[in-house]
């Protein structure tokens, strides 16, 4: 993990915890007490524990998902962005109210968690972290700039405004709250469907809401950039092969499906070919690459990725868990896959085929 945090996940019964090393001194302990005695939706409640003689903070994340995981496959549209930004603004209101140090907030996307039923965000406070919050906030907004849906002009305009306010205003957080108050809540269902109306192009938004023309020019250039879908299809090593029986050369293009890795459902022999990575499995139809027919599958249940030339399986903090050859996976950790491995997602069993051998 970045910044040397070395976070890990543990699962106890149906609860998943993020565990981070505690590097603060005894004077920082009052902050943990403040959080313990003042429950918050925006700040995850830490529990100080000792493992192997070293102190750790343990945060219950429940069914929330890391932003870094969620927005690898989804883009940030207006309803999602509005919820995240409102949580961000509320975070710092509560930080001031509880007399916490804002530099102790961890704004790395892998440690910011969203509830995908409403996309409200929850954050981690790690006493002793002490990273300048201004730099963290800048990096956090740059992360969202790279994942915003550039076809959603309303989201782009809102993100641009909030970025400028937080980065340029002396009272940036207060200005951010006032800006968000102008936004109407997203209609019911808009978190999953593009049902809201789009606003005019960003160039038509009144200029009095814009400051820093040079920043606007840079941001307008970003509008022209579209995220290209990652295509990591596993191609055959050669384009042709020699058929000994006929002495003819046969185009492997006709056998492309056999050269891609795939999943085979043990229940009905359904074959699911993976033509791109990351390949996401879950019940959030329209946002996942494969949706098994089971009510026990989480919205974002598991993901298969290509990393350094190898294929690996990740559990995305699913409710009912993921198992590989009978071994339960720790959420967020990498598990390399081999041909004929058995993947169990809740009550759905799949066989992984690497595509390198005829099946």
216 plus 98 within the same structural domain: yes
**Residue numbers of the domain that contains 267:** 240-353
Q: For position 235, what pLDDT does the model report?
A: 38
Task: Tell me what percent of the residues of the chain surpass a pLDDT of 70.
Answer: 76
Q: Which residues are bridge partners to 19 per DSSP?
A: 8, 58
> In sequence order, what are the beta bridge partners of 307?
310
At residue 80, the pLDDT reads 94
Question: Do 293 and 162 sit in the same domain of this protein?
Answer: no
CA 180, 130, 110 angle in degrees (round to 5)? 60
Mean pLDDT for the stretch of residues 182-211: 48
State how many domains the chain has.
Answer: 2
**pLDDT tens digits, 240-290:** 333 444 444 444 444 444 578 999 999 999 999 999 998 999 998 778 899
Reported confidence tier of residue 77, pLDDT bands at 50, 70, 90:
very high
How confident is the prediction for the chain on average, in pLDDT? 79
| CB-based contact 318:345 (threshold 8 Å) | yes
**357: confidence class by pLDDT, cuts 50, 70, 90:** low
Between 154 and 240, the more confident residue is: 154
Look at 36-45, 47-56, 169-178, 292-301 and tell me which has the smallest mean pLDDT. 169-178
> Do 215 and 246 have their domain in common?
no
Across the range 154-172, mean pLDDT stands at: 85
206, 205, 128, 134: which is closest to 163 by C-alpha?
134
Tokens of 38: 């003042």
Burial of 114 (0-12, 13-18, 19+ CB in 10 A): buried
Q: Is the same domain home to 164 and 276?
A: no
pLDDT value at position 66?
92
Residues 203 and 283 placed together within one structural domain of the fold: no
> Is 22 a domain residue?
no
Sign of the Cα torsion 229, 230, 235, 239 reads positive
pTM strictly above 0.75: no
Is pLDDT above 90 for 107? yes
Same domain, 254 and 211: no
**Within a domain: residue 334?**
yes
Q: Which residue has the higher pLDDT, 240 or 326?
A: 326
pLDDT, tens digit, 9 for 90 and up, residues 65-74: 999 988 987 8
**How does 262-291 read in b/e, with b if 16+ C-beta sit within 10 Å?**
bbbbeeeeeebbbeebbbbbbbbeebbbbb
Which residues neighbour 343 within 8 Å (Cβ) at sequence distance 6 or greater?
263, 302, 313, 322, 323, 324, 337, 349, 350, 351, 352
* Claim to verify: residue 127 and residue 212 sit in the same structural domain: yes
CA–CA distance from 306 to each of 80, 278, 355 (Å)? 27, 7, 14
b/e burial code for range 44-77 (CB count within 10 A of at least 16 → b): bbbebeeeeeeebbbbebebbbbbbbbbbbbbbb
Higher-pLDDT residue of 192 and 356 is 356
Question: Is pLDDT above 90 for 332?
Answer: no
- Residue 168 in tokens: 């340029």
Q: What is the DSSP string of 115-145?
A: ETTTTEEEBEE-TT----HHHHHHHHHHHHH
Is residue 227 within 8 Å of residue 236, measured between CB atoms? Answer: no
Tens of pLDDT, residue by residue over 210-241, are: 444 444 444 455 544 444 444 444 333 333 33
- Statement to judge: residues 298 and 171 lie in one domain: no
Q: Say if residue 307 is in the same domain as residue 346.
A: yes
Whether 164 is covered by a domain: the verdict is: yes
Between 165 and 143, the more confident residue is 143
State the pLDDT confidence band at 358, using cuts at 50, 70 and 90: very low
pLDDT at 179: 86
- Whether the predicted pLDDT of 207 surpasses 50: no
Split at pLDDT 50, 70, 90, the class of 170 is low
Confidence label for 156 from pLDDT (cuts 50, 70 and 90): very high
The answer as to whether 47 is a domain residue is no
What DSSP state is assigned to residue 40?
Answer: -
Q: Name the CA dihedral angle for 12, 16, 20, 26, rounded to a multiple of 10 degrees.
A: -70
Closest by Cα among 55, 63, 14, 58 to 35? 58
| Per-residue pLDDT reduced to its tens digit, 27-72 | 677 777 777 777 778 999 888 888 777 889 999 998 899 999 889 8
Q: Is 108 exposed, middle or buried (0-12, 13-18, 19+ CB in 10 A)?
A: buried
Average pLDDT for 17-33: 81
């Amino acid at each position: 993990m970045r910044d040397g945090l070395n976070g890990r996940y543990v699962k106890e019964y149906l609860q998943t915890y993020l565990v981070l090393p505690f590097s603060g001194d005894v004077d920082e302990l009052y902050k943990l007490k403040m959080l313990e005695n003042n429950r918050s939706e925006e700040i995850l409640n830490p529990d100080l524990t000792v493992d192997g003689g070293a102190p750790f903070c343990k945060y219950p994340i429940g069914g929330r998902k890391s932003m870094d995981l969620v927005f690898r496959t989804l883009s940030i549209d207006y309803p999602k962005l509005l919820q995240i930004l409102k949580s961000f603004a509320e975070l710092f209101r509560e930080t001031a109210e509880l007399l916490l140090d804002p530099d102790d907030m961890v704004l790395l996307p892998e440690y910011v968690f969203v509830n995908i039923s409403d996309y409200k965000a929850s954050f981690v406070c790690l006493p002793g972290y002490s990273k300048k919050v201004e730099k963290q906030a800048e990096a956090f907004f740059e992360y969202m700039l790279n994942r915003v849906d550039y076809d959603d002009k309303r989201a782009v305009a809102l993100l641009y405004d909030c970025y400028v306010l937080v980065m340029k205003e002396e009272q940036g957080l207060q200005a951010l709250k006032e800006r968000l108050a102008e936004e109407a809540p997203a209609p019911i269902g808009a978190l999953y469907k593009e049902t809201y109306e789009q606003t005019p192009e960003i160039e038509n938004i009144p200029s009095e809401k814009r400051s820093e023309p040079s920043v606007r020019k840079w941001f307008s250039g970003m509008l022209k950039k579209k995220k290209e879908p990652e295509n990591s299809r596993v191609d055959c090593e050669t384009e042709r092969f020699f058929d000994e029986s006929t002495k003819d050369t046969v185009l492997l293009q006709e056998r492309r499906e056999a050269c891609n890795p795939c999943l085979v459902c043990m229940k009905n022999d359904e074959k699911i070919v993976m033509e791109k990575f990351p390949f996401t499995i879950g019940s959030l139809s329209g946002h996942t690459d494969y949706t098994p027919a089971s009510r026990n599958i989480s919205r974002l249940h598991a993901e298969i990725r290509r990393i350094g030339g190898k294929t690996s399986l990740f559990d995305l903090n699913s409710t009912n868990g993921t198992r590989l050859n009978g071994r339960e996976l720790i959420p967020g950790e990498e598990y390399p896959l081999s041909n004929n491995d058995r993947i169990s997602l809740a009550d759905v069993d799949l066989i992984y085929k690497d595509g390198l051998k005829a099946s």
